[in-house]
Structure 1
Amino acid sequence: MSSAAITLLAADTELPEPIASGWQLVLAALAGIGVIVVLITITKLHPFLALIFGALTVGIVAGLKFGDTLASFSDGFGTTAAGVGILIALGAMFAKLLADSGGADEIVDTIIGHSSPRALPWAMALVGSIIGLPMFFEIGLVLLMPVIYLVAKRSGQSLITIGIPALAGLSAMHGLVPPHPGPLTAIDLLGADLGITLALGVAVAIPTIIVAGPLFGRLAGRWVVVDVPDRFVGDGGGSGRDADGDGPGGGGGGGTLAGTQTVAQRTRPSFGITLFSVLLPVGLMMAKALVDIFIEDESNIVRQTFDVLGRPLMALLIAVIVGIFTLGRGAAMTRDQIVSCIESSLPPVAGIILIVAAGGGFKQLLVDTGIGTVLAEWAKGANISVILLAWVLAVLIRLATGSATVATITASSLMLGLVEGMSTGELSLVVLAVGAGSVFFSHVNDAGFWLIKEFFGMTVGQTVKTWSVMETVLSVVGLVLVLLLGLVI
């Protein structure tokens, strides 16, 4: 296991016997999901509350005592908050340091400055991927929009042709690569190894971004032609919510952008130092996964060292500490400015942490009622591909709720009983299948849809033809690649 949180959650895969008949438990799961969908899409209730009511519905319909229902939800909530919440908070701190120090701008400007006009869409895909690796979708979008505008104007190329590759990079990282909340939560719920999932996620994300980004962007630029806006509409950071409408994005939108511009005018950390800071936690986690594979002796000092340094909590903590010096001090930020930067990173992600934790409570109700056991028996009898089933479940919930995080949490919870006995690599592929399904066809019930529409100045129809189709291409290509990996893993 790659973290203490995953170790704690591993016990959850020991599914209990069903507490009621199969049809009643299926009805309970459908009722719970239905309540979540209705509350989010029709009554516009916050997903945190919707997940609580959905969990209570599962317990009541399944025939679980109300006190036991509350206890089960609380257990799942606490375990998930402890395992995932800390990592989200650390990730938000690092992203805020990267933004306010001007490091994000340095990455963007360096890559764009060394690209030919023909290579610009590919460069934008690379920029979106690098910026999207540590950042939530919204803050990455706010940081990139001025660059997208400027590159489109200077090159004379279509705003869509330039913008779609950057969006593909951001979205793929958001849905497929930890430590973003979606894949991180799926890893915790299913007990997958974070390092291996990270490595496979990057392997899937790269070709997926190429197809959904530069290649699709060329077509989309012909379908939809819009003028480049004369100004950047980013004062308020868009909607103030993350890309799938789950809560505040990492960094808080326009305030971060303004802070980045102010610091960038004074000084910035170098490109090499910034890139090192961004890739440090990724490298530590991937190194741990490789060491675990090639060094079987658990008493080996190298393995013991990387078992500590490569744990997600430690890797992100190291990244934040290093970032204080390489990014904060590297941008000549004072101690008070660094302290203020880190403090201001936490309030915007509080909503995301609560949603993810509530999703853990919802998952625990599904586990304790035995619905996972029932679904596992049915799926095994029908010989359904676990990877394909995981993707379909995530797609259906994504279409219904508009929330990638809710889709990831719910689909992962329903898959618990189906992953018994699967290898570490196979578990990671299930996580990636859920992640790919969770970004399928963003439409009008997704706050990210409206964020893209306004930033690009498009109509609803144009947004569907570009952003929504791009998300669908990304999701389907991701699934195909995961299925191909499944043939060799």
Structure 2
Amino acid sequence: MTPAAVPANGQVLLLYALIAIITLIVLIARAKLNPFIALAVVSLGMGVAAGMPLTGIVNSFQAGVGGVLGFIAVVVALGTMLGKLLAESGGAERIARTLIGIFGEKNVHWAIMFVAFIVGMPVFFQVGFVLLVPLVFTIARRTGTSLVLVGVPLVAGLSIVHGLVPPHPAAMLAVGTFKADVGLTIIYSVIVGLPAAALAGPIYAKWIAPKIQLPEHNPLAEQLGETSRGEDLPGFGISVFTILLPVLLMVGSSIADLTLASGTPLRNTLNFIGNPVISLLIALLVAFWTFGAQRGFTREDLQKFTNDCLGPTATILLVIGAGGGFNRVLLDSGVGRAIADMATSLHVPLLTLAFVVAAVIRVATGSATVALTTAAGIVAPIAAASPGAARPELLVLATGAGSIILSHVNDSGFWLIKEYFNMTVAQTLKTWTALETILAVSAFAFTLLLAQFV
């Protein structure tokens, strides 16, 4: 690519975006500025540098914060309360003991990866994370192993299915954009996704865990990983059913979309109860019985549990919201378009183009969903003009792989992982950012390998 391949103003925007990201890292990691304040200041500075109207900058930041928190705040709140009941009832302890008994302490990080891969298929990344993170805290405590060793496989399993596997919304949109077959895309994504998750999850975790020393005090681990029930634990079946209930409801919604006519009462009902927020609310209400009343807790106990666990999430939500504001300012300033122009100017094979376009949009905007949907829209017309150049299902996978690469400070997921695991920015870059990049590169490599046989 030559510099002329991107308009001059696009080059300047890319430079400003790079400076903004570096400034953000320095302010948080070196100057020790509160991440929420740093994100707000850098977002406003980026907007000014890009020439956005001053009122437009504020509106973009506010819209980004609201857009992210409108979904994530409810999910984190409901998921944290469900996780608290899972911990207090002993349900997390029961599931942890069973997994440790089946796989052994030395292999429990493999077990959590497979659990995350399966649970993550029908749910959003954030939903799967808040559902399963109590297990990570409990397993790490029971086995005496590093939280990183168990946590990295969890987020690797969730992230790969979020980026590659239908019926996730972005992946489904890419399937439609590329006119791919849904069934084949799911089969191919599992073939590609499992080995990629293994490399970025248990294998990488085994290497990086000894190098990451986390603080002994973790407020959320203390809330979600403890149990006061001794040996009086709920059954494995009821514990698994309660925690998987929102997953089952979301699966029902996805099946309804594929099998029932639009607008029918049954489909509307299944779509309603399969909405992530509604399904989590239903699961929480069920947990009041299975993890509450049946375990001997009073209404006062349940009120205390659900109130106490929300305190540590306040900072997390503020930081995640500010990350969404930074993301929106980058998009509205034109950085995403400049990235797309740069990527499409590269004369490369179609699968590689799909990966590169999605990757650079992801790095610039911080959103896997934006990267996947935008890149699919850019590459699909090129693919239509080159019939037979690549299977549409593989284009979905290549685009999805690029959309999860190099998550960093402009991604709300970065701050979610950082705050839950109580890591520094540098530690989050070494764990979360690195595993996302391993996931992306390995998934793309496996996609290219699969292309030789299909």
Determine the structure 1 residue equivalent to 2:111.
126
Query: Please, which runs of 5 or more residues in structure 2 have no aligned partner?
Result: 1-6, 120-127, 175-181, 381-391, 409-416
Out of 332, 341, 347, the residue aligned to residue 305 of structure 2 is: 341
Out of 270, 273, 276, the residue aligned to residue 241 of structure 2 is: 276
Determine the structure 2 residue equivalent to 1:236.
217
Q: Give the superposed CA RMSD.
A: 4.8
Shift of 1:419: 4.4
Superposition pairs for residues 104-183 of structure 1, below 5 Å?
A: 104-115=92-103, 121-127=106-112, 130=115, 133-135=128-130, 139-149=134-144, 166-173=150-157, 175-176=159-160
The answer to whether 1:359 aligns with 2:323 is: yes
One-letter amino acid of the structure 2 residue matched with residue 102 of structure 1: G
Give secondary structure in 1 for the equivalent of 2:57.
helix
Cα distance in 1 between the residues matched to 2:432 and 2:331: 36
Cα distance in 1 between the residues matched to 2:49 and 2:327: 15
Superposition pairs for residues 243-282 of structure 1, below 5 Å?
A: 252-258=220-226, 260=227, 262-263=228-229, 265=230, 267-282=232-247
The answer to whether 1:25 aligns with 2:8 is: no
Determine the structure 1 residue equivalent to 2:314.
350
Out of 306, 309, 324, the residue aligned to residue 288 of structure 2 is: 324
TM-score (norm 2): 0.69
One-letter amino acid of the structure 2 residue matched with residue 70 of structure 1: V
Cα distance in 1 between the residues matched to 2:37 and 2:304: 30
Shift of 1:318: 1.2
Give secondary structure in 2 for the equivalent of 1:340.
helix
Determine the structure 2 residue equivalent to 1:249.
none
Instruction: Quote the sequence identity (%).
Output: 26
* CA deviations over 1:416-470 (Å, ceiling 9, x no partner): 754436789877975664445439xxxxxx96999799xxxxxx9xxx8x99987
Out of 82, 85, 88, the residue aligned to residue 70 of structure 2 is: 82
Out of 39, 46, 49, the residue aligned to residue 51 of structure 1 is: 39
Cα distance in 2 between the residues matched to 1:95 and 1:135: 7
The answer to whether 1:438 aligns with 2:403 is: no
Number of aligned positions between the proteins:
396
Give secondary structure in 1 for the equivalent of 2:377.
coil
Shift of 1:276: 0.7
Cα distance in 2 between the residues matched to 1:471 and 1:126: 19
Shift of 1:280: 1.3
1:281·1:316 contact (CA, 8 Å) conserved in 2?
yes
1:165·1:209 contact (CA, 8 Å) conserved in 2?
no
Evaluate the alpha carbon distance shift between residue 287 and residue 348 of structure 1 in structure 2; reply closer, same or farther with a 3 A threshold.
same
One-letter amino acid of the structure 2 residue matched with residue 365 of structure 1: V
Superposition pairs for residues 197-216 of structure 1, below 5 Å?
A: 203=190, 206-211=194-199
Give secondary structure in 2 for the equivalent of 1:382.
coil
Superposition pairs for residues 298-317 of structure 1, below 5 Å?
A: 298-317=262-281
1:235·1:255 contact (CA, 8 Å) conserved in 2?
no
Shift of 1:107: 0.5
Shift of 1:310: 1.2
Give secondary structure in 2 for the equivalent of 1:31.
helix
Cα distance in 2 between the residues matched to 1:127 and 1:27: 40
Shift of 1:272: 0.4
Give secondary structure in 2 for the equivalent of 1:87.
helix
Out of 51, 56, 61, the residue aligned to residue 49 of structure 2 is: 61
One-letter amino acid of the structure 2 residue matched with residue 170 of structure 1: L
Evaluate the alpha carbon distance shift between residue 139 and residue 482 of structure 1 in structure 2; reply closer, same or farther with a 3 A threshold.
farther
Give secondary structure in 1 for the equivalent of 2:312.
helix
The answer to whether 1:385 aligns with 2:361 is: no
Shift of 1:298: 0.7
Cα distance in 2 between the residues matched to 1:87 and 1:269: 25
Evaluate the alpha carbon distance shift between residue 208 and residue 167 of structure 1 in structure 2; reply closer, same or farther with a 3 A threshold.
farther
Shift of 1:483: 6.7
TM-score (norm 1): 0.65
Shift of 1:224: 8.0
1:39·1:50 contact (CA, 8 Å) conserved in 2?
yes
Cα distance in 1 between the residues matched to 2:193 and 2:77: 24
One-letter amino acid of the structure 1 residue matched with residue 110 of structure 2: A
Shift of 1:308: 0.7
Cα distance in 1 between the residues matched to 2:299 and 2:451: 49
Of 166-175 and 43-52, more deviation after overlay is shown by: 166-175
Shift of 1:145: 2.2
2:61·2:328 contact (CA, 8 Å) conserved in 1?
yes
Cα distance in 2 between the residues matched to 1:167 and 1:364: 28
Out of 52, 71, 82, the residue aligned to residue 59 of structure 2 is: 71
Shift of 1:234: 8.9
Shift of 1:34: 2.5
* CA deviations over 1:113-167 (Å, ceiling 9, x no partner): 345x6xx544552246548945488754432223223xxxxxxxxx79xx98734
Give secondary structure in 2 for the equivalent of 1:44.
coil
Cα distance in 2 between the residues matched to 1:488 and 1:50: 48
Out of 264, 273, 292, the residue aligned to residue 257 of structure 2 is: 292
Shift of 1:334: 1.8
Of 209-218 and 41-50, more deviation after overlay is shown by: 209-218
